[in-house]
Amino acid sequence: MEKRGQLVYKALLVIIACGIVVVAFVVAGKSYGSQEAFYKLAIARDLALTIDLIYGLPGNLEYVYPNDVSDYDIEAKDNMILVYSHNLGKTDPTLASYIFAGIDKDYINAEIKGTKHIKIEKVNEKIRISGVYDLTLPSAGGRYGGGGASGES
């Protein structure tokens, strides 16, 4: 036999649980309806495939992912890219993830929060990922052509 006070707590817990489920459905519905969930998955796939490509290229290089990702947080760990909403954090019901191959001697652990672009660089067979707020590309060409100024007249 339950006392009246216990029934009130039980009803309160049921109401809170139902509220959480309703909020999760509303957030997921808005995300899928605005195509945001698919955009997050596309970002995760792009970054994972880019990391796999960079591992296969010889030498050192730097690549800036040109799409605006300022509304999302991106985490790279355990050979997986996670992309989730900056406002909701890891509780985002439409969190996107994608696995990249990586190599045994290099483990990428990075968490990028709210930056506009992402820079992936490979130095001495180690890959680092960091956030970039402004996309400034170096001028190309130099002395033998291309689009940049070389400083020589």
SS3 per-residue string spanning the chain: CCCHHHHHHHHHHHHHHHHHHHHHHHHHHHHHHCCHHHHHHHHHHHHHHHHHHHHHCCCCEEEEECCCCCCEEEEEECCEEEEEECCCHHHCCCCEEEECCCECCECCCEEEECCCEEEEEEECCEEEEEEECCCCCCCCCHHHCCCCCCCCC
Residues 80/97, Cβ–Cβ less than 8 Å: yes
In a shared domain, residues 74 and 86: yes
CA angle 103, 101, 138 (to 5 degrees): 80
Does 68 share its domain with 123? Answer: yes
110 and 55 in one domain? Answer: yes
Residue 106 falls inside a structural domain: yes
Based on the domain organization, do 27 and 77 belong to the same domain? no
Q: How many domains does the chain have?
A: 2
Judge if pTM exceeds 0.75. Answer: no
Residue ranges in the chain whose pLDDT is less than 70: 1-5, 31, 135-153
**Domain carrying residue 14:** 1-34
pLDDT 10s digits, 20-55: 999 888 887 876 777 888 899 999 999 999 999 998
Q: What was the pLDDT predicted at 120?
A: 92
| Co-location of 104 and 135 in the same domain | yes
Residue 27: per-residue pLDDT: 81
Residue 111 lies in a domain: yes
Q: What is the CA radius of gyration of the chain?
A: 22
User: Does any domain span residue 150?
Assistant: no
**Does 29 lie in the same domain as 73?**
no
Q: Are residues 131 and 73 in the same domain?
A: yes
Judge if 25 and 44 occupy the same domain: no
pLDDT score for 98: 94
CA-nearest of 104, 42, 99, 53 to 76 is 99
